[in-house]
């Protein structure tokens, strides 16, 4: 393996993904504000169904899955250069809903297993699995949902295979972004990385605006103009990250490292 050539080819991919991200953002700028619509919906669902116990939790999860499916539909359109329109919102949950539900159900089973495990070493090992290993291994699963070759639980295997082939190239710019944002914004880097790139509830993240890290004022972001500005800025930042992730995934998934080196020599 020619590592110098691989590094050069990878840097080219980063530059192209960043350039294309800037070019595509303006085509669907309003998509950046969608989490400000989804978040109150999820909050209302949690308020209404929250007292129904386990069944209520399932219903709230269903609402979150619908919102996630809708968000990924529009990110999919932006990444692939399509002209997305607000009037598509009512039907946007359909294309990716089955895939989202499959991953949500998988995570629910893991959490259920974690909840019934007795204390001790086994429980601690499962805790590490749920809170560290799985979030990393499932990091590209949102992109697999709308760009991958599989569906159902096979998407989990596809996510693993993608990271086995391109894990370093995938995480390097994301970690770099965490460092830059942490230094410039004063956010704890581990918490920021967890919220943006390795979330346990990775499919809920687009609606939660990065949780408390990107929306420290809580769900009531309409209480003041400062909170509205912060929420809108956080939502736009998430939009930029999701578009870049989608473009980076598309470029990395298009071939192996040797194929990238070969193509870079032809350019």
Q: H helices within 117-224, ranges in order?
A: 121-128, 134-137, 141-147, 154-185, 189-196, 205-208, 211-214
Quote the domain boundaries for residue 216.
3-266
Nearest to 140 by CA among 101, 103, 113, 92: 103
Choose between 107 and 199: higher pLDDT: 107
What count of Cα atoms within 13 Å lies in the side-chain half-sphere of residue 157?
A: 6
Choose between 217 and 153: higher pLDDT: 153
Tell me, what's the pLDDT at 197? 59
Of all residues in the chain, what percent carry a pLDDT higher than 70?
A: 76
pLDDT above 70 (res 137):
yes
Q: Give the pTM.
A: 0.85
Residues 42-58 have a mean pLDDT of 79
Retrieve residue 156's tokens.
């989990």
Tell me, what's the pLDDT at 191? 61
| pLDDT band for position 208 (cuts 50, 70, 90) | very low
**What is the count of structural domains for the chain?**
1
Task: Write the CB contacts of 247 (distance below 8 Å, at least 6 apart in sequence).
Answer: 16, 17, 20, 21, 24, 79
pLDDT above 70 (res 219):
no
Distance CA 72, CA 76 (A): 6
The rounded mean pLDDT for the chain is 79
Encode pLDDT of 60-89 as tens digits: 878 888 888 999 999 999 999 998 999 999
| Burial (Cβ within 10 Å: 0-12, 13-18, ≥19) of residue 195 | buried
């Amino acid at each position: 393996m020619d590592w110098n050539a691989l590094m050069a080819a990878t840097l080219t991919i980063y530059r192209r993904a960043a350039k294309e991200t800037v070019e595509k953002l303006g085509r669907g700028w309003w998509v950046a504000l969608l989490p400000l619509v989804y978040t109150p919906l999820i909050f209302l669902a949690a308020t209404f169904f929250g007292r129904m116990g386990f069944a209520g939790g399932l219903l709230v999860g269903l609402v979150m899955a619908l919102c996630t499916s809708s968000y990924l539909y529009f990110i999919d359109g932006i990444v692939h250069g399509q002209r997305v329109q607000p009037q598509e919102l009512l039907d946007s949950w359909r294309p990716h809903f089955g895939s989202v539900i499959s991953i949500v159900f998988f995570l629910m089973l893991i959490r259920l297993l974690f909840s019934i495990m007795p204390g001790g070493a086994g429980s601690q090992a499962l805790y590490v699995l749920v809170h560290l290993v799985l979030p990393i291994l499932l990091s590209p699963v949102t992109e697999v949902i709308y760009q991958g070759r599989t569906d159902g639980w096979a998407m989990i295997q596809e996510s693993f295979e993608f990271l086995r082939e391109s894990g370093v190239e995938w995480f390097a710019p994301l970690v770099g972004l965490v460092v830059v944002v942490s230094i410039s914004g004063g956010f704890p880097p581990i918490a920021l990385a967890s919220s943006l790139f390795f979330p346990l509830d990775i499919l809920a993240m687009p609606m939660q605006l990065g949780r408390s890290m990107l929306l420290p004022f809580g769900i009531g972001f309409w209480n003041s103009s400062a909170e509205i500005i912060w929420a809108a800025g956080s939502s736009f930042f998430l939009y930029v990250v999701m578009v870049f992730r989608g473009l980076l995934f598309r470029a990395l998934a298009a071939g192996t490292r040797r194929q990238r080196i070969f193509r870079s020599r032809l350019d």
